[in-house]
Amino acid sequence: MIVLYIFLGLIGLLVLLFLIAVIRTLFLKKKEAYYVASNDEKRINEYANKLSKMVQYETVSIRGVDQADKFRGFHKVLEEQFPLVFKNLTKIDIDGNLIMKWKGKDSSLDPIILISHQDVVEATGNWKYPPFSGTIVDGRIYGRGTGDIKSGVMCFYQAVEELLKEGYTPKCDVYLGSSCTEEIGGDGAPKMVNWFKNQNIHLFLLSDEGGCIVENPVAGVKGAFAAVGIFEKGYGDLKLVARSNGGHSSTPPKNTPIVRLAKFISRVENKGIFKSKFSEGVEQMFAKLAPYTDSFMLKVVMHNLWLFKPLLTLLMGAISAEAAAMLKTTICFTMQKGSDGYNVIPQEAWVTANLRYIPHQGMNESNKIVADLAKKYNIETEFVTGNDYSKSLDLKGVPFDMTVKCINKVFPNVGVMPYVVTGGTDSRFFDPICDNCIRFSPTMVKGEQMKGMHGLDENIFTNVLPGAVDYYKELIKIQETR
């Protein structure tokens, strides 16, 4: 009987907690979020033509090749498009990586920096329009770098160009930075960071790529939202090697190298090896999204994470693969090799795994989890390269508040949500000299455009460019409140 009473008591408690969650949700006001693009044809055409010219100059970065002179040619394109910037700002060229310094009125304030990278990935395959044509058609600009991310460079250069034309002087020093090795994980950003270190400069705020304005960010949530990246996951490459004495395939023994690797991969894929956990940023993301969902039950869950967090953790993969990746270290198997002959048992077979590390299980712990499991299948683990997760932006800090205010002013109907950047950016290198790295590109990007950033037919809407320029202007002007 005692067990029954305890069981009934637990059931009653759960029912009570659920009723509390429902009542709380009933008081949550429904909101709508939508993006309004510019209809200023003069600005749209001017900005589109400038970005088109930047795209037409090919800036594919190649690992292990000195391309400084090629990128200096791109600097000349920038100078042609933004003459006031190059006339009034100090130019610092570091092996093709470019820093422009705009002197402010108060040298006692830590400066800010706006960054995006000059380089792009290769553009193979059959494109609708040539990848370096910068073709403008049907309200879009096509070409490699339109979305990732010469549009960012164009917009903050244009913002400064227009502020200079108005006779504006910023309160603090403002830097414009652009590396030429971001896409190959090169030393461009570290070289810029070293320059700031040598100048004994600590940055108050950095604005880079990462999140953007997206539609319907998770299943059940509709509308346009500014996804503000608050930190980025770490990056790692592991090589997993299985060995044997080899032999003829006509008399195969048990557990050959490829079989052991297959068993290991199957174990990782089917059961998972990393722990999911809600960070403060992800909790805030769901709290911000809750008022925008049409489903009452989903709203109950998202608005009451104090009760439903364990359930949502289990269901996250079904809701959104990208959202699920914000909760844990991820692992993806990317390359493999066995023997060189159809009828030969390999003496060595290997696969590579790409990991993206989460703060609650960082690089060292995640790598050890993989290595310990691999040992059970007689597989060796080799660390190839990697870096840990970046520092997180303080959601209660002034820089995040400034960002939200700028978004609300320029895009008043767009929702704002914190976002964990699952890819890599140049921002991570700036952690030693900047405590407030904001990863947000102020342009609207649709789903198919996201896929095109490293794929075919990369493009961006022309009417999103004026809003992005205005955002950067506001981000500079809001420093007056410091």
Q: How confident is the prediction for the chain on average, in pLDDT?
A: 94
Q: What is the pLDDT of residues 101-119, one digit of tens each?
A: 999 999 999 999 999 999 9
The per-residue pLDDT for 10 is 72
C-alpha 256: how far from chain center: 39
Distance CA 74, CA 186 (A): 18
Residues with Cβ < 8 Å from 354, sequence gap 6 or more?
A: 235, 236, 237, 331, 332, 333, 334
Segments of 235-305 assigned E as strands: 235-243, 247-248
Question: Computed from CA positions of residues 294, 298, 302, 306, in that sequence, does the dihedral angle turn out positive or negative?
Answer: positive
The per-residue pLDDT for 17 is 82
Could you tell me which of 166, 137, 156, 143 has the C-alpha nearest to residue 45?
137
Could you tell me which of 303, 301, 335, 304 has the C-alpha nearest to residue 318?
301
Residue limits of CATH 3.30.70.360 in the chain: 232-387
Q: What is the pLDDT of residues 6-50, one digit of tens each?
A: 766 677 778 788 888 889 999 999 999 999 999 999 999 999 999
Backbone phi and psi for residue 33, each to the nearest 5 degrees, phi listed first: -130, 125
pLDDT at 214 over 80: yes
Class of domain 232-387 (CATH, top level): alpha beta
pLDDT at 317 over 80: no
Distance CA 400, CA 20 (A): 32
Residue limits of CATH 3.40.630.10 in the chain: 41-212+392-481
Distance CA 118, CA 138 (A): 26
**Mean pLDDT across the stretch 151-158?**
98
pLDDT at 420 over 90: yes
Could you tell me which of 219, 177, 211, 217 has the C-alpha nearest to residue 92?
177
DSSP label at residue 184: G
The per-residue pLDDT for 312 is 86
Could you tell me which of 88, 81, 92 has the C-alpha nearest to residue 103?
88
Q: Is domain 41-212+392-481 given the CATH code 1.10.760.10 in the classification?
A: no
H or E element at residue 331: strand 330-337
Could you tell me which of 259, 253, 304, 258 has the C-alpha nearest to residue 283?
304
What tokens were used for 389? 């997760």
The per-residue pLDDT for 108 is 95
